[in-house]
Structure 1
Amino acid sequence: MTQAGKFTLRLAAALVALAGAAGALAQPKEVEIAIIEATTGPWSVNGGRVIKGAEMAVEEINAAGGIKSLGGAKIKLVVADAGARPDDAANAAQRVIASNPNIVGGAGAYISSQALAITEITERAGIPWLFGGSADQLTGRGFKHVFATNMPAGQVTPRIVPIIEQFAKLSSGGALKEVAILAVNTPGTIAVADGVEGALKARGVNVVAKEVFAIQLADGTAIAQRVRRARPSMIFFSTAIAPDTKTILTSLAQVGITPKNTPFFIYGGGAFDPEMLNLMPKEGLEGTAVFANIWPTKKSGDLEARWKQRTGQPWMTFDPAFGYGHVWVLKEALERAGSTDRAKVSEAMHALKLESGPAVAALNGPVSFDAKGVRVNPPALLLQWQNGVPVVAYPADVARAPLLKAQ
């Protein structure tokens, strides 16, 4: 081959390599976001729904062109099992970070004690991290990269007690007088129960009974009997999972206390879970009220309809709404940061002021955070079981149905 021929071949090879390199540069890298939620253990149902909500958001974002400021980079979800204990969750966080050094943000877990353990790890790595837990400690440690989309327990008391009083008045037609408080022993639920107890006593309400029990209660008979002897005019129950809610409601019904004759006001995730309909008849739930921060309202657009079509589930709980909303919040922060640098993404998170869009639809209202990562003015909603479905009944501007009264 002549020298000219050899030169031509080398030139052609160089041009092919250059074209390949240009093509590679044109393809934006994937952006890795971690979700650490329980896929085993007592929280697995809730954790599984969070993950499905996050997956739904990722599919929508990627289908719409990915992260525009990063050249259309697609989001890749990295999922890890938080297990049953805080140690399990911490170990999962360590493994995820070690195995995926390019993670730019993440979220989880559903339970505050697990989120506390996870964020000890993610904070040291400088990873912006979202969670739906309510324990005040989550944002009270001086961390720079934690962001709470739920209402912290310390804010719940001043927001929930006026709603409890209003609910009592609307439900029974009279002022709140005697209350029994029941609570499962997890950080968030206990903090709320203690706060409500103190606030009610300060208002002159008589707390006639207080029962605290370990999660996964096997038998609520003794608790129900003590509550019956206390003769409360209303019951406040701070719970975490559906089986415990079923155990308490069933045990109380066996001693003649039901939502039809005594107003039930519940704080916590297990009370509006679709699993409840597999655990007890819908008649035993009718009229039960539940305080929530996140739930589809008449202002949420077609989000719930898309979720139901995707999953076949009867309604969208707060679990997938958190998963969906958290991914969208991180997406918006990445758009504003225009970078996958974790510190810049955290800065963008602190500066966020979302007034519209998918994150706002999922998380019920504007989304922004203060210097500690606490959500500014999170929503307060009252749900009520009506005809086998929990619907928003208060406040009126977002309610889907009027409040039912106790008989």
Structure 2
Amino acid sequence: MVYHDDESDADTAGRLTQRLIDEDGVDFLLGPYSSGLTTGTSAIAEASDVLMVEGSGASDALFERGFQNLFLVATIASDYTRSGIEALAARGARTAVVAHEDTLFATAVAQGAVRHLKANGIEVLAVEAYPEGIQDVSAIMTKFRDLDPDVFIGGGHYNDAVLFVSSATEVGFEPGGMLITVGPSNPRLAEELGRDVDGVLGPTQWEPSMAYQGPYFGSAADYSAYYQSLWGEAPVYQAASATAAALALHLAIEAAGSTDTGAVRAALRALSADTFYGPISFDERGVNVSKPMGTIQVQDGEIVVVAPDAAATSSLQYPYGEGG
């Protein structure tokens, strides 16, 4: 395996992808982190007729370009909030507000959230977009506080989660539920913000407690234990997604009995596998349509799975503190 550090920079990622193809002579690519970096790198892969299997570029827009060489093992962005919204609606939530970073991934998450909110009978009181890299969301949170919604949904990345929770605390914004796309499933957020994170919900592609298993790595818990033995820390879902991308490619090469691009592409399209990460099978876009998104909640500092019911290890508390 050949790899390079793209430093989370789109230009660097593009240059290194071309280097992997032209100079390193790789047969296949495993994608970078984020939809932003995957946008350009997957275009290079498509133009070079090199397959890219990835677990982190989840924006819907990536799969509306008709590419034949891009495959996503993760749940697509527009469905990130689905199980959480369905669970909140079942508990009586009726109004919501949405804030999101003005980027491909976060916009796709927000648009999907609005669709799922409406489908579940929850009125959307406001949607606010903000520029990437913002350092202060207090004006948005103050506006939302005054609207007094049942639920807040925030779309962005880890730093946005820190801003959302900190700002809500500062301005006294206390919705019955807070669902934030990236951050709550990472133990670091609770370590950084303490009790302020209690009750916060977040989508998760994968958790060690989920009942998934397959012939490689065994169960989700087995994978987690193996990962910890290698790296000395528990895997976050981004790590599991990366492993699942490599596993899907491995299974396709094995099924094809060849490294020929066309044969492996056909094997990926025909793939149907149970894995530690969840079921994997791809539609005509290259999106894994078999794996539902999970939802976690931070309860007394512990990250627990609360939706969907088939994956839940604890009951959703909504409003937080009022039990299951």
Do Structure 1 and Structure 2 share a fold, with TM-score over 0.5?
A: yes
Check the 8 A contact 2:73/2:288 in 1, yes or no.
Answer: yes
Contact 1:234 1:264 in 2 (8 A): yes
Q: Select the residue among 360, 363, 383 that pairs with 2:296.
A: 383
TM-score of the superposed pair, with normalisation by structure 1:
0.71
State the Cα distance separating 1:199 from its structure 2 match.
4.7
- Gap runs ≥5 in structure 2: 212-219
Q: How does 1:131-170 map to 2 (within 5 A)?
A: 131-132=54-55, 133-154=57-78, 156=79, 160-161=81-82, 163-170=84-91
Equivalent-residue separation in structure 1 for 2:13 and 2:243 (angstroms): 20
Seen in structure 2, the aligned counterparts of structure 1 residues 202 and 139 have a Cα distance that, compared at 3 Å, is closer
Could you tell me how far 1:168 is from its partner in structure 2? 4.3
Distance 1:305 1:387, change over 3 A: farther
User: Which segments of 5 or more consecutive residues in structure 1 lack a partner in the other structure?
Assistant: 1-76
Match of 1:90 in 2: 14
| Cα distance in structure 2, aligned partners of 1:201 and 1:396 | 21
Q: Which is higher, the Rg of structure 1 or of structure 2? A: 1
Matched AA of 1:403? L
1:234 is matched with which residue? 151
* Counterpart Cα distance in 1 of 2:187 and 2:115: 32
Whether the 8 Å CA contact 1:289–1:384 is kept in 2: the answer is yes
Residue 374 in structure 1 maps to residue 250 in structure 2 = no
Structure-2 residue corresponding to 1:209: 126
Distance 2:309 2:286 in 1: 29
* Corresponding letter in the other structure for 2:249: L
Aligned counterparts, 1:8-23, within 5 A:
none
Kindly tell me: are residues 342 and 149 of structure 1, through their superposed partners in 2, closer, same or farther at Cα, counting changes over 3 Å? same
Counterparts of 1:204 and 1:397, CA distance in 2: 23
Contact 1:215 1:244 in 2 (8 A): no
How far the C-alpha of 1:201 sits from its partner, in A, is 4.5
8 A Cα contact 1:239 1:271, kept in partner:
no
Deviation at 1:185, TM superposition (A): 1.8
| Contact 1:182-1:211 at 8 Å conserved across structures | yes
Which one has a larger percent helix, Structure 1 or Structure 2?
Answer: 1
Q: Does 1:244 align with 2:151?
A: no
Residues 121-179 of structure 1: CA distance to partner in whole angstroms, max 9, x if unpaired?
A: 1112222111222212222222221111122234x18xx44641422443xxx3x3221
Query: Structure 2: how far apart are the matches of 1:312 and 1:387?
Result: 24
Report the Cα distance in structure 2 between the residues aligned to 1:377 and 1:206, rounded to whole angstroms: 29
Q: CA deviation at 1:82?
A: 2.7
User: Is 1:403 the counterpart of 2:313 in the alignment?
Assistant: no
2:21 and 2:259 mapped to 1: Cα distance? 15
Task: Kindly report the root-mean-square deviation, in angstroms, between the aligned alpha carbons of the 2 structures.
Answer: 2.2
Output the CA distance in 2 between the equivalents of 1:130 and 1:389.
32
Report Cα offsets for 1:39-68 as digits up to 9, x if no partner.
Answer: xxxxxxxxxxxxxxxxxxxxxxxxxxxxxx
Deviation at 1:263, TM superposition (A): 0.8
For 2:130 and 2:169, the matched residues in 1 are separated by: 18
* One of 31, 39, 51 as aligned partner of 1:108: 31
Q: Which moved more, 1:199-208 or 1:88-97?
A: 199-208
Q: Aligned pair in 2 of structure 1 residues 78, 337: CA closer, same or farther (>3 Å)? A: same
User: Aligned with 1:104: secondary structure?
Assistant: coil
After TM superposition, give the deviation of residue 186 of structure 1 in Å: 1.6
Q: Are 1:291 and 2:203 counterparts?
A: yes
TM-score when scaled to structure 2? Answer: 0.87
